[in-house]
């Protein structure tokens, strides 16, 4: 397995993280017309429908697929879309949801019975300090409720990571595609209960071509291309070579939100981003740096 990235694969990884980061702006465009839970249901229905005809169902228990689908579909993206419907800005959402790394570590420690290492406590302290900075500066564009929703979405993402780890030796893209169908019924039901038939009909009737392009981008660009390309890179190179690139996701997210949506980037927001990203970097890169010494 190669350890260094040639230029073409570095650029591919960069494209993936740029898609994942700028995707938060795409979400905001779709939410202008569609209720958030309906939007999430459409995203996962389209991610499943065409791709399932070309990808075999992975050999994994259906309960594992269902749990992953519900955690990702309802717990992560359903809640994320609700939060982004006026409760938090896209740039901050792209930043805060990366705390899933620490939730994943906490769950791994709980399951394996391991202790948190000193560098992980330090990394967590840095990231938590960034979250505190955001809490102290909530305003009309970002609320404490919105922040809590994103943290819940991050926790659901972490739980989905733990669920996926139990599905060993499978095609991850097929896993994502076939799990998507399990997200659709609960999302539709929640949309009917909380958003109502009138909002659903209205959203579908006023959805513009831009909105449908945003939904398609969520399904094909963000989910299918992103996972396929990332999975191919992880299969070819060590995880330590590829995963640090994910630190660029909130950088692209905040930059795209500032560029296209005119989201302001005051000093406090940049400070919060620096603290969270520094925490993620310490957690990800410290073991690699120590191992190289």
Q: Which residues contact 257 (CB under 8 A, 6 or more apart)?
A: 24, 25, 28, 89, 90, 91, 94, 263
CB 107 within 8 A of CB 263: no
CB 29 within 8 A of CB 210: yes
**How many Cβ atoms from other residues are within 10 Å of residue 69's Cβ?**
26
Provide the total of helices (H) and of strands (E) in the chain, helices listed first.
15, 0
* Tokens 């006023």, located at residue: 206
The per-residue pLDDT for 248 is 87
Torsion of CA 186, 188, 193, 195, to 10 degrees: 130
Angle at 213 between CA 208 and CA 217, to 5 degrees: 150
The per-residue pLDDT for 245 is 80
Structural domain spans, the chain = 7-115+145-262
User: Is the pTM of the predicted complex or chain greater than 0.85?
Assistant: yes
What single-letter DSSP state applies at residue 4? S
The per-residue pLDDT for 102 is 86
Query: Longest Cα pair distance anywhere in the chain, in angstroms?
Result: 62
What single-letter DSSP state applies at residue 177? H
The per-residue pLDDT for 112 is 65
Q: What string of pLDDT tens digits covers the 293 residues of the chain?
A: 555 678 898 899 889 989 999 999 999 999 999 999 999 999 999 999 989 999 999 999 999 999 999 999 999 999 999 999 999 999 999 999 999 888 888 887 777 666 778 888 898 899 999 999 998 888 778 899 999 999 999 999 999 988 988 888 888 899 999 999 999 999 999 999 999 999 999 999 999 999 999 999 999 998 889 888 887 887 777 766 777 788 888 999 999 999 999 999 999 999 999 999 998 888 877 776 765 55
The per-residue pLDDT for 201 is 97
The per-residue pLDDT for 240 is 63
> In whole angstroms, what is the distance from residue 233 CA to residue 10 CA?
9
Q: Token digits for 29?
A: 């465009």
CB-facing half-sphere around the CA of 73: CA atoms within 13 A: 34
The per-residue pLDDT for 288 is 65
CB 246 within 8 A of CB 17: yes
């Amino acid at each position: 397995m190669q350890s260094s990235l040639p230029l073409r694969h570095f650029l591919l990884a960069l494209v993936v993280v740029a898609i994942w980061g700028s995707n938060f702006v795409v979400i905001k465009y779709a939410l202008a017309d569609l209720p958030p839970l309906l939007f999430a249901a459409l995203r996962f229905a389209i991610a499943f429908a065409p791709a399932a005809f070309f990808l075999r169902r992975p050999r994994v228990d259906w309960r594992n697929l269902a749990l992953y689908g519900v955690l990702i579909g309802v717990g992560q993206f359903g809640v994320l879309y609700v939060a982004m419907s006026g409760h938090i800005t896209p740039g901050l959402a792209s930043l805060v949801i990366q705390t899933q790394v620490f939730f994943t570590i906490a769950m791994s420690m709980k399951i394996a019975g391991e202790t948190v290492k000193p560098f992980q406590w330090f990394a967590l302290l840095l990231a938590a300090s960034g979250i505190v900075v955001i809490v102290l500066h909530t305003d009309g564009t970002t609320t404490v409720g919105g922040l809590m929703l994103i943290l819940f979405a991050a926790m659901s993402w972490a739980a989905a990571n733990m669920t996926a780890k139990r599905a060993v030796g499978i095609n991850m893209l097929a896993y994502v595609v076939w799990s998507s169908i399990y997200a659709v019924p609960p999302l539709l039901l929640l949309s009917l209960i909380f958003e109502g038939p009138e909002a659903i009909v209205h959203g579908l009737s006023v959805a513009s071509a831009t909105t449908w392009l945003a939904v398609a981008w969520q399904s094909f660009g963000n989910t299918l291309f992103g996972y396929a390309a990332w999975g191919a890179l992880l299969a070819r190179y060590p995880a330590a070579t590829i995963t640090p690139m994910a630190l660029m996701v909130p950088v692209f997210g905040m930059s795209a939100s500032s560029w296209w949506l005119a989201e302001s980037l005051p000093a406090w927001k940049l400070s919060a981003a620096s603290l969270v990203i520094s925490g993620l970097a310490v957690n990800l890169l410290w073991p690699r740096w120590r191992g190289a010494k």
